[in-house]
Amino acid sequence: MASTPLIRVQELKKHFYIPTGFLGQKNIVVKAVDGVSFDIKAGETLGMVGESGCGKSTTGRAVLQLHKPTSGRVFFNDKDLTTASAEELRVLRTKFQMVFQDPYASLNPRHSVGAIIAEPLVIHGIMSGSELQDRVTELLELVGLNPAYRNRFPHEFSGGQRQRIMIARALSVKPDFIVCDEPISALDVSIQAQVVNLLQELQEKLGVAYLFIAHDLSMVKHISHRVAVMYLGKMVELAERKDLFENPIHPYTQSLTSAVPIPNPKLERRRQRIILKGEPPSPANPPSGCVFHPRCPIAKEICKVEAPPFVETQPRHFAACHFAESQIENKITKDAPIY
């Protein structure tokens, strides 16, 4: 794995403005992503988790410039995507792709599978003719589908097969980086592991890097090298996979990891679940100070008035909590290690 980051994200923000009032003269500001920073190395998978509405998908789309960031910078191989022209982005899009969440809505029902997979190659003028057809055959075999399916249409495939088609389409232009936006959430549980294993096999074979966005922590634990935890548009913790699941620092992360089942009945019985009270606040009206303080079991007065900095509390382990040091020394849970 290379030491130089392939992707560098610095203080990324994406705010949406919703017009309200008479003739839309006032705007409600929805802070979907509010100052996140991270990097991804070549061949690495960064898992991103958090509750619905926390800004995971918006972050992925803003990294690829599908949503133009409100502020912040995104570097791909030291090229600043936020200042790149439309033509520069069009050329660079062969190097980064996206696998969308819903395989039922992301494939053109009027196009055959062969045409869908070939489309990026045609649009970018990479190849044509027999060479293009050979590449489609190669991609179908790569994702475990019969090349004879190339003339079939999306409605003839199952959800898992459609997701494989989407992965083949994303891989067609040989990208270095793919954003996987909850690629397994719309699939049956029996199919989810197959898709995750396929992504891992392709990473080992092709060296592609992933930003893997998901709700399922067990899948994130399985596929990721590092894990980032988001809450209400902010990143609250980032660490190596093993370190994050064994030694979570932020109270929100501790709550999430306490919900991951342990395949050992004795350890599972001894473990204490952390149940958070209330619901996440609206990103249109976030709380002052630390955004997690209304639900935090260890919140104090400082949490209500001052936002904690996102700092390295241990080597390669970052967290945004005023009491990170005390959390390291005296955790509020006595969970058994997951690994």
Amino acid code (one letter) for 184: I
Q: Are 62 and 34 in contact (CB under 8 A)?
A: no
Given a cut of 70, is residue 336 above it in pLDDT? no
Q: What is the 3-state secondary structure (H, E, C) of 116-150?
A: HHHHHHHHCCCCCHHHHHHHHHHHHHHCCCCHHHH
pLDDT of the residue at 333: 46
CB 78 within 8 A of CB 98: no
Q: Which CATH class is domain 5-95+175-329?
A: alpha beta
User: Is residue 332's pLDDT more than 70?
Assistant: no
58-65 mean pLDDT? 96
- Residue reference for tokens 């053109």: 108
Parse the chain into domains and list their residue ranges. Answer: 5-95+175-329
Is the predicted pLDDT of residue 213 greater than 80, yes or no? yes
How does the average pLDDT of the chain come out, rounded?
89
pLDDT digits over 132-186, tens only? 999 999 999 999 999 999 999 999 998 889 999 999 999 999 999 999 999 888 7
On the question of pLDDT at 64 being above 60, the answer is yes
Residue 102 binned pLDDT confidence (cut-offs 50, 70, 90):
confident
Count of CB atoms situated within 10 Å of the CB of 34: 22
CA distance 314 to 321: 13
Residue 122 has pLDDT above 90, yes or no: yes
pLDDT single digits (tens) 268-327: 667 777 778 888 888 888 899 999 999 998 899 999 999 999 999 999 999 999 988 877
Which residues on adjacent β-strands are paired with residue 49? 229
CA distances from 235 to 10, 131, 155, 192, 232 (A): 12, 44, 38, 26, 8
Is residue 65 predicted with pLDDT exceeding 90? Answer: yes
pTM: 0.89
Taking Cα atoms as reference points, which of 289, 286, 285 lies closest to residue 300? Answer: 289
Higher per-residue pLDDT: 190 or 310? 310
Cα separation of 217 and 137, whole Å? 34
Alpha carbons 196 and 36: distance in angstroms, whole number: 26
Q: Which two tokens stand for residue 41?
A: 């190395």
State which H helix or E strand residue 313 sits in. Answer: strand 311-314
Handedness of CA 95, 99, 100, 106 (dihedral sign): positive
| Exposure class string for 250-282: b at 16+ Cβ within 10 A, else e | bbbbbbbbbeeebeeeeeeeebeebebeeebbe
